[in-house]
Chains A and B, each alone.
Chain A
Amino acid sequence: MPFLEKFRDPAIGRGLLVKVIERARAVREKLGRPAVFMEVCGTHTVAISRAGLRSILGEYLELRSGPGCPVCVTDYADIDRMVAFASLPGVTIGTFGDMMRVPGSRTSLERRRAAGADVRVFYSPRDAVAYAAEHPEREMVFLGVGFETTAPGIAAVIAEARARGVKNFSVFSTHKLVPPAMRTIIADPELKIDGFILPGHVSTIIGRRSFDFIASEYGLPAVVSGFETLDIIDAVYRLLGQMLNGEARVENGYTRVVREEGNVRAQAQMAEVFEVGDASWRGFGVIPESGLNIRPAYRGFDAAARFEVAIEPPRLPRGCACGDLLKGKLTPRDCRLFGTACTPTHPVGPCMVSSEGACAAYYQYERHE
């Protein structure tokens, strides 16, 4: 059996699920209610939906989606700014595909493109640098949307563009950091999360120990998890185990990839190009020290510094519960617009568009008409 297939073996999965349910029942007895865990990362949300895990475990515990979808937490004003960049003469927008259909307060990149803007989807930011080098008459503005996982790659291409002298390439950075958002969530008195399934990819970069504060400062259990079905079931099993034993630790359930200190080279690459600053998150507002801005030394590659765009104050859609959803206060089904006014074809909020968005995952895989 190929290596990864072992982490999908349904027979092992079903066996482990029996044990999970056993523990979940005991925790339910102990608490007088089902445990509530948050899967912080959008990729986990989708994996859970795809495996149908909520339909199996829903009776015994709750798995709630968190803020870990970069497109979803991008502020309206930032999306409006991206659309404004796309409207500048001579500017080509480079983006990952997920951003295309995200509604800003007035329009989206997809609609701007239909109206004549030059918006191109790239699988790799390196291709965007190559495009800029081949088209010196255009200004390439690449949309840097992502967490600690995406930022090192973007930092690398900014450094590459500088080294190659590709002066018509710049990045609009809305990169965000996961730990500050988690502090905000944990500190919210309205929220009752019993434990966290931590993002495996982000942990790969920043290291397991970056999340130690969850246990040491807030006394909550957490497990770094991979993205195979068995990884996720195992993380839930470990969280329940900690709760039964009255423990709070940040465990590494993804030891085949994640190290204590993370990927030091990627961290260095990130620190070379970016500096930490405040950032505005959809649903959260401004979270101090939670964003990555391009350092002054790389100012020539910072689209925000190079292009002046004026945007009107964002208009927020009425009734969209994306904000509370990203904080884990609601599930998509609690939103009045879910599946009626808001669908993947006619999205109101980004959570319905992004392939990592909780609403899209619930709509695609967990809806019953």
Chain B
Amino acid sequence: MENKLVLLAHGDGGRLTHELVTGLFLKYFGNDILARLTDAAALHLNGGRIAVTTDAFVVNPPFFPGGDIGKLAVCGTVNDLAVSGAEPRYLTASFLIEEGFPLADLERVAASMARACREAGVEIVAGDTKVVGRGQLDRIFINTTGVGYLPPDRDLGYHRIAPGDLVLVNGNLGDHGMAVLAQREGFGFEDQIASDCAALNGIIGELLRALRGIKLMRDLTRGGMATAAKEIATAAGVDVWLDEQAIPIGAATRGAAEMLGLDPLYLANEGKFLTVIAPEEADRAVALMRAHPLGRDACIIGEVRAGKGNVYLKTALGGTKFLDMLAGAPLPRIC
């Protein structure tokens, strides 16, 4: 009986989520576009192409250092479009609100969304509001759908990835997940960790306009960098080799994750993306990223090799370890 219930782990972005999406949703909704399971769907309309994506936001607590649910709802959807190679233009926003939620907080959320939209150059053009009785949902959930323009020459995808390509990241990993966890649990860490929540279409647009050798981009949300790397390796049928010493992690997040027994490679980010790029353009990509405020700590963290879909991490001591998708929500250690 209890094997037939939805578990929290079905929503963690890891293996169980994947099983739910492929085993249930694809079974009923399956079509050629959805079956690609990309961050955003590319649609052909009258000879042009647009990208569409949608995302629901249920972060707890709704306000956290570095952001809030509103900023997240804008940036998360903008980023899904951006990593797909699209130029984000329009958003819709649906608000699901619990009775008794302070109007002042709702206004804070709206103002924050407006600011994030201005910075990302997008507009909210349609919306919906629903209120449910007290206790029927937790404070506020937001769903946003995003529409972007796909320039005709943009072709990002797993099919372009080849052995020899390099893997880049635009900065420190794990800050968002740790910031939200610390805020929720009331951990008083000495150095407050702020979410990296930011719209990435600016920096990604610059890269895509300047460089032809970008094969694929992925934003590193639920499941973190390790899950994204594993998905890339599996989908492209290659191995990804990462260099542990090259992977940027901030000292505060590293310390907090260690204390809690969490691996920063599996913590969520909201302003970070992986880029797979032809080796001859990698240095230029790093330089371009570093010149942008959202890529100051950018670096090369690994390479693509021929293989069977595995992700390996070369440790500082010269050992090798294997990385898989997140399985089960990250939990604290107990001894």
A355 touches B261 (CB 8 A): yes
Q: Which residues of B sit under 8 angstroms from A367, Cβ to Cβ?
A: 322, 324
Q: Tell whether A50 pairs with B321 under 8 Å between CB atoms, given A10-B316, A353-B328.
A: yes
B317 touches A56 (CB 8 A): yes
Contact with B along A68-105 (1 / 0, CB 8 A): 11110000000000000000000000001111110000
Interface residue B45 (Cβ < 8 Å from any Cβ of A) = no
Q: State the CA gap A71–B2 with chains docked (Å).
A: 22
Interface residue B19 (Cβ < 8 Å from any Cβ of A) = yes
Interface residue A187 (Cβ < 8 Å from any Cβ of B) = no
B335 touches A201 (CB 8 A): yes
A55 touches B328 (CB 8 A): no
Q: Which residues of B sit under 8 angstroms from A53, Cβ to Cβ?
A: 317, 319
Interchain CB contact (< 8 A) of A356 among B309, B316, B318, B333: B333
A365 touches B322 (CB 8 A): yes
A356 touches B16 (CB 8 A): no
Contact with B along A350-367 (1 / 0, CB 8 A): 000111100000011111
B322 touches A43 (CB 8 A): no
B309 touches A369 (CB 8 A): yes
Q: Which residues of A sit under 8 angstroms from B19, Cβ to Cβ?
A: 345
Interchain CB contact (< 8 A) of B334 among A54, A55, A98, A344: A98
A56 touches B316 (CB 8 A): no
Interface residue A252 (Cβ < 8 Å from any Cβ of B) = no
Interchain CB contact (< 8 A) of A52 among B2, B308, B320: B320
A96 touches B320 (CB 8 A): no
Q: Tell whether A55 pairs with B7 under 8 Å between CB atoms, given A123-B332, A344-B328, A356-B333.
A: no
Q: State the CA gap A111–B5 with chains docked (Å).
A: 7
Q: State the CA gap A290–B231 with chains docked (Å).
A: 45
Within 8 A of B (CB), among A93-123: 96-101, 107, 110-115, 121, 123
Contact with A along B1-19 (1 / 0, CB 8 A): 1110111110000111001
Interchain CB contact (< 8 A) of B310 among A52, A229, A368: A368
Interchain CB contact (< 8 A) of B322 among A110, A145, A368: A368
Interchain CB contact (< 8 A) of B317 among A43, A52, A112, A146: A52
Interface residue B104 (Cβ < 8 Å from any Cβ of A) = no
A111 touches B321 (CB 8 A): no
B319 touches A107 (CB 8 A): no
Interface residue B185 (Cβ < 8 Å from any Cβ of A) = yes
Interface residue A30 (Cβ < 8 Å from any Cβ of B) = no
A100 touches B3 (CB 8 A): no
B324 touches A150 (CB 8 A): no
Q: Which residues of B sit under 8 angstroms from A17, Cβ to Cβ?
A: 317-318
Interchain CB contact (< 8 A) of B8 among A99, A110, A147: A110
A97 touches B15 (CB 8 A): no
Within 8 A of B (CB), among A212-269: 229
Q: Tell whether A10 pairs with B245 under 8 Å between CB atoms, given A53-B319, A110-B8.
A: yes
Q: State the CA gap A364–B324 with chains docked (Å).
A: 6
Q: How far is the CB of A87 from chain B (nearest CB, A)?
A: 11
Minimal Cβ-Cβ distance residue in A for B181: A123
Q: State the CA gap A111–B328 with chains docked (Å).
A: 13
Q: State the CA gap A54–B322 with chains docked (Å).
A: 12
Q: State the CA gap A56–B321 with chains docked (Å).
A: 10
Interface residue B331 (Cβ < 8 Å from any Cβ of A) = yes
Q: State the CA gap A14–B318 with chains docked (Å).
A: 8
Q: How far is the CB of A364 from chain B (nearest CB, A)?
A: 6
Q: How far is the CB of B321 from chain A (nearest CB, A)?
A: 4
Within 8 A of A (CB), among B241-269: 245, 260-261, 263
Interface residue B21 (Cβ < 8 Å from any Cβ of A) = no
Interface residue B327 (Cβ < 8 Å from any Cβ of A) = yes
Q: Which residues of A sit under 8 angstroms from B260, Cβ to Cβ?
A: 123
Interface residue B22 (Cβ < 8 Å from any Cβ of A) = no
Q: State the CA gap A96–B323 with chains docked (Å).
A: 25
Q: Which residues of B sit under 8 angstroms from A51, Cβ to Cβ?
A: 315-317, 319
Interface residue A314 (Cβ < 8 Å from any Cβ of B) = no
Q: Which residues of A sit under 8 angstroms from B16, Cβ to Cβ?
A: 345
Within 8 A of B (CB), among A147-168: 147, 149-150
Q: Which residues of A sit under 8 angstroms from B308, Cβ to Cβ?
A: 369
Interchain CB contact (< 8 A) of B319 among A52, A99, A355: A52
Q: Which residues of B sit under 8 angstroms from A99, Cβ to Cβ?
A: 334
Q: Which residues of B sit under 8 angstroms from A115, Cβ to Cβ?
A: 1-2, 5
Q: State the CA gap A171–B323 with chains docked (Å).
A: 37
Interface residue A8 (Cβ < 8 Å from any Cβ of B) = yes
Q: Which residues of A sit under 8 angstroms from B185, Cβ to Cβ?
A: 123
A and B contact pairs by CB, cutoff 8 A, 8 listed:
A14-B317, A51-B317, A52-B321, A53-B319, A54-B319, A110-B8, A123-B187, A367-B322
Beyond A345-B14, A367-B322, list 20 extra A-B contacts (CB 8 Å): A8-B316, A13-B316, A51-B317, A52-B315, A52-B318, A69-B335, A96-B333, A96-B334, A97-B331, A97-B332, A111-B3, A111-B7, A115-B2, A123-B185, A123-B332, A149-B335, A229-B316, A345-B16, A364-B324, A366-B321
The 7 closest A-B pairs by CB, nearest first: A52-B319, A97-B331, A344-B327, A10-B316, A96-B334, A111-B2, A365-B321
